Amino acid sequence: MTVKKKMSPEEGNKIPDQEGTVETAPFEAPESPETSDNAESREALKKTEDNLMEVAVEWKERCQRITAEYQNYRNRAQKEKEALGGDVRADTVTQFLPVLDNLERALENEKDDAIRRGVELIHRQLLDVLEKLKVTEIEAIGQVFNPELMEAVMHVADETLSANTVTQVFTKGYRMGDRILRHTIVQVAN
């Protein structure tokens, strides 16, 4: 087994011959900065530095694009989340509108005062909940017919009213903010 010993820098220039004796090889020093190759190596270093700067700029721009894309994704996801929440609220409120209609019909037809007061309390409570959810009734009587908010199921000839004026509401319409929950079903004068 041969043991290799660590050589010092001075010993690194020594070359053993076949008999094991060590000869010293001439030491070759690196070229000094004053040589003519220095201008060439400076140019090469400058080109390398320029290339590295270009790569750094490209990576910086790439990182900025990725960061902007991620921010856009987060904003889009937040908007979709808010829209989904609005859709769920609108769908839920839409399910309660027939209940509100039935309470109003009960108020119109109930003769017993005790029952009527109970229905009025329930009706008022439901209206308060809808108000908190920013649900509003679409006003229609006497208004000009608006096909975006109303649905005309009947036309009547009435010369005392201007054309396309709503004369009667069959089913109330409701909106939640800008979203139409249910169109108002109306009768329109010609």
pTM of the predicted protein model: 0.60
Residue 64 has pLDDT above 70, yes or no: yes
The single-letter DSSP state of residue 8 is P
What sign results for the dihedral spanned by CA atoms 141, 147, 151, 156?
Answer: positive
Average pLDDT over residues 149-156: 94
Cβ partners under 8 Å of residue 119, min gap 6: 103, 106, 107, 110
pLDDT of res. 7:
52
Q: Are strands 173-176 and 184-189 parallel, antiparallel or unpaired?
A: unpaired
On whether the CB atoms of residues 95 and 82 are closer than 8 A, the answer is no
CATH no. of 137-190: 2.30.22.10
The top-scoring range by mean pLDDT among 11-15, 122-126, 155-159 is 122-126
pLDDT level of residue 31 (50, 70, 90 thresholds): low
pLDDT level of residue 130 (50, 70, 90 thresholds): very high
Instruction: Give domain limits for the chain.
Output: 137-190
What is the rounded average pLDDT for all residues in the chain?
A: 86
Q: Considering only the C-alpha atoms of the chain, give the largest distance between any 2 of them, rounded to a whole number of Å.
A: 131
